[in-house]
Structure 1
Amino acid sequence: MPGYLKRILGYAALTAICFAGPTLWKVHAESNQLPEYKVKAAFLYNFARFVEWPESSTSSPEFSVCVLGLDPFGEDLNIINSKPVKARKVAIRLITDLQHIGNCDCLFVSDSEKKNLAGIFQALNEKNILTVGDMEGFIDAGGIIQFVLHESKIRFVVNLPAAERAGLRISSKLLELAKGVKE
């Protein structure tokens, strides 16, 4: 499949998950079956597809999506395990301490780590790691992407200066879909 066609299909998939996913979540929320973290797992996968890492940090055959702290995803994160991201396969890692964050490409910081954010972001200083969280104030503390609930839909906000400090480039298509962008 030609490269331009893959990009078009990728943009279509990202748009579908960003707009259909939250609607799906709302429908399930009303029936008391909250697939919130399935939607967030799909977002994590698409974030990985629309963020560029420096070439020096993409040498591993695996694209590591890590969860730091208590795992809110449960089995929901398995939907992206082994999926391809830029010629690499997603590998899910649950980590409990900062010693293992260096092996992560994308790090979801669990709500259980809120009191440790300053230390986490200090340990991440100048590492090419996409940080994502859903706790209030995550991007203000230095995170790159924060999930937010807006009109009963899961959305996200982006902290561009934090992404630049991490050496990451976020696609303009992803920025267009963001609820907000901190510049």
Structure 2
Amino acid sequence: MKKMYTLIVLLCIAWGAEAQNYKFQALFMYNIAQRIEWPNLAGEFVIGVIGSKEMHQELESIAQKKQLFGNSIKVVHVNADELSGKLYHVLYLDRSSSVKLGDVKKQVVSKPTLLITDKNGLTGGGINFIDNSSKIEFEIFPTVIKSHQLHLSGSLLNLGIVRE
């Protein structure tokens, strides 16, 4: 019985840490978006989330309180196969959806879209969060980001681990 209680406590702690991680990553995403120059930004700033319902909820919480460049933020849960013809300023792929990065890239190749994944070491996206329990870090791929007509601020490059 004691082992059962210990297991339940450990699961609750792990769940709480995971929820906190989504909150911090969502705040990082908001701050990253502020450090990018977006072309033709008018109307809503749209963030698409592929996979994680928890990340969608955290971003939605931010969207209710904040704006980006004077624009309201719209957060939508999207399917990786249904991106064509729509503009997403940011697309977030959770770890389980990262296998779809190649397909996602093909659909947004010429659009000003920042691809953010939750899997470090993944090539092809603009930013990857690094799984590190002690702090949130991210890899940043300036060449990929610039290929999407997005301009980075120097302060963003100083915050992440730059990869080419």
Interval containing the TM-score (normalised by the shorter chain): 0.7 to 0.9
Deviations 1:27-81, CA, capped at 9 Å, x for gaps: xxxx6521000001101111111111122xx13x110111013434253223311
Q: 2:21 aligns with which of 21, 29, 36?
A: 36
Unaligned residue ranges in structure 2 (runs of 5+): 1-12
Following TM superposition, the consecutive aligned residue runs of length 4 or more in structure 1 with deviations greater than 6 angstroms are: none
Q: Structure 1 residues 129, 37: closer, same or farther in 2, change over 3 A?
A: same
Q: 2:74 aligns with which of 66, 91, 114?
A: 91
**What SS does the aligned partner of 2:26 have?**
helix
How far apart are residue 173 of structure 1 and its match? Answer: 0.7
**What SS does the aligned partner of 2:120 have?**
coil
**What SS does the aligned partner of 1:97 have?**
coil
Question: Does 1:114 pair with 2:107?
Answer: no
TM-score (norm 2): 0.81
**Count of equivalent residues:** 147
Question: Does 1:45 pair with 2:30?
Answer: yes
Q: 1:62 aligns with which of 35, 39, 44?
A: 44
Percent identical: 27
Which structure has the larger Rg over C-alpha atoms?
A: 2
| Corresponding residue of 2:10 | none
Partners of 1:115 and 1:156 lie apart in 2 by: 19
Root-mean-square deviation (Å): 1.9
The aligned runs of 1:73-152 (5 Å cut-off) are 73=55, 75-82=57-64, 83-100=66-83, 102-138=86-122, 140=123, 142-150=124-132, 152=134
| Corresponding residue of 1:172 | 154
Unaligned residue ranges in structure 1 (runs of 5+): 1-30
Partners of 2:133 and 2:114 lie apart in 1 by: 26
Contact 1:71 / 1:110 at 8 angstroms: preserved in 2? no
How far apart are residue 112 of structure 1 and its match? Answer: 2.4
TM-score (norm 1): 0.73
Partners of 1:113 and 1:147 lie apart in 2 by: 14
How far apart are residue 176 of structure 1 and its match? Answer: 0.7
How far apart are residue 150 of structure 1 and its match? Answer: 4.2
How far apart are residue 119 of structure 1 and its match? Answer: 1.3
How far apart are residue 182 of structure 1 and its match? Answer: 1.5
Partners of 1:151 and 1:43 lie apart in 2 by: 15
Q: Structure 1 residues 69, 149: closer, same or farther in 2, change over 3 A?
A: closer
Partners of 1:109 and 1:79 lie apart in 2 by: 18
**What SS does the aligned partner of 2:111 have?**
coil
